[in-house]
Structure 1
């Protein structure tokens, strides 16, 4: 074997080794994108989803505000709920899961994606979205960069900002200081459920007649009801502390069944005024999600 042949074999071996290392470490070479054919960045808005037509107003508003903030940019949607996707599919409305939506963006030639979680808190769903989205960054032929932007209540500063903005944005102007405002959050078994208790504390410091309860976590409805009764509250505005006024808002919060919050508070002698608009229908609060998305975009540069 000649020296020239040996040198050629060594060169081939080193090139192969470097290519393999690049793919293993997620080096940009592994993406298969060149500057000439690169698209992007793109935005993927991810939510639990809703099958209630009237609740879609919240998503339509977010979509409009995001496209206004990022003109000309590709904006797509994904629902994390398999049940809601399946239900909508029967109605002829096809929604992707986050994983399918990311795969489509990758197949369409986008190399950078900002994924915006439209959840209220960084619970289990947010962490699943983050884990799976980042895997698209590591696979061969995957994205160069993926950044998952935070939900609404993801830091102490974010919580303080919501406490400052929400009353003027969401609470009806006819509400008097003696009237209670009850915000219904979803709640979760994830440790991030503690955020709702933190928000209760912060709202109470700002306005002693604003309360936060949850459907599946803490504070519980019974805890909130006990506080209202003890204080002698005669009237309460009921608002969903969720991105949309979906099934929980229309049934668990404001429904006519005996076990709804409205029915149980009415039975306790408290006049109830439901306000069935999701958080994402108010631009002052949508802007906080958009600020998180702008941060994500900086990480894609």
Structure 2
């Protein structure tokens, strides 16, 4: 029996981002599976091509799985760092399913928001870490036209059920949107908001579209509505607690 873990993320060409997020999560996998080889694959073609142009080889998911097969691995556990089971996550599962006959075992671990216990963890963590009287916590995800985009609404429902009335969930490109939550924040009497990326890495989207100065950013739009705004430019992969959560999903897949 020869086992391997394939760590899959969107990817980054920023060395510090890789160190602070992907490396952190993979180190957590190593602690959980000290005898298992860990490989890496990215899903962003743009990032992969940029890294290859700079002399850093990175595999796509199909390439990584084919390489694992050639190298004699027969048990492969894939752990994506995606937040929901969106289109990219589906592609990873499809890629694994197409190669089931080449491995004795090939499984894909769940995304970050993979059930109610994950939702509860996210809500409790951010309420504890960033909660402040009179300030709303706004968790900002990417959003998708995929059916699993409903996970963001479910996260909001969990926050309400747990009594975290200061937590609001929005997405950049789907629903709930800023326009959806703005009346609720105002009606709750909050005059201050803290923006927190619900993204694995705090690169382009977090710096530009959430905390940026341009008029259409989330921060700028809140300021235009006369809210005091603080932004946390930190991806989920930078928190040890979320690295441990991904490792827990991997352990579940490897059972």
Pairwise TM-score range, normalised by the shorter structure: over 0.9
Q: Of residues 90, 101, 111 in structure 1, which corresponds to 2:64? A: 101
In structure 1, the partner of 2:125 is: 165
Residue 153 (1) aligns with residue 102 (2):
no
Structure-2 change in CA distance of 1:296 and 1:264 (3 Å)? same
Distance across 2 between alignment mates of 1:234 and 1:71: 48
- Please state how far the C-alpha of 1:87 moved relative to its aligned partner: 2.3
Distance across 1 between alignment mates of 2:247 and 2:198: 18
TM-score for both structures, normalised by structure 1: 0.79
Structure 1 residue runs of 5 or longer lacking an equivalent are 1-37
In structure 2, the partner of 1:204 is: 160
In structure 2, the partner of 1:92 is: 55
Distance across 1 between alignment mates of 2:140 and 2:122: 15
Q: Matched residue of 2:98: which SS? A: helix
Distance across 2 between alignment mates of 1:210 and 1:101: 39
Structure-2 change in CA distance of 1:122 and 1:136 (3 Å)? same
Which residues of 2 match residues 127-146 of structure 1 at below 5 A?
Answer: 127-138=90-101, 142-146=102-106
Residue 73 (1) aligns with residue 29 (2):
no
- Please state how far the C-alpha of 1:200 moved relative to its aligned partner: 1.3
Structure with bigger gyration radius: 1
RMSD: 1.7
Q: Matched residue of 1:153: which SS? A: coil
Residue 273 (1) aligns with residue 230 (2):
yes
Which residues of 2 match residues 53-68 of structure 1 at below 5 A?
Answer: 53-56=15-18, 57-68=20-31
8 A contact 1:55–1:278 mirrored in 2: no
8 A contact 1:187–1:217 mirrored in 2: yes
Distance across 1 between alignment mates of 2:238 and 2:109: 20
- Please state how far the C-alpha of 1:134 moved relative to its aligned partner: 2.1
In structure 2, the partner of 1:30 is: none
8 A contact 1:179–1:235 mirrored in 2: yes
Distance across 1 between alignment mates of 2:209 and 2:175: 15
Structure 2 residue runs of 5 or longer lacking an equivalent are none
Q: How many pairs are equivalent? A: 253
Which residues of 2 match residues 1-301 of structure 1 at below 5 A?
Answer: 38=1, 40-56=2-18, 57-138=20-101, 142-168=102-128, 171-172=129-130, 175-205=131-161, 206-298=163-255
Q: Matched residue of 1:255: which SS? A: coil
- Please state how far the C-alpha of 1:166 moved relative to its aligned partner: 3.7
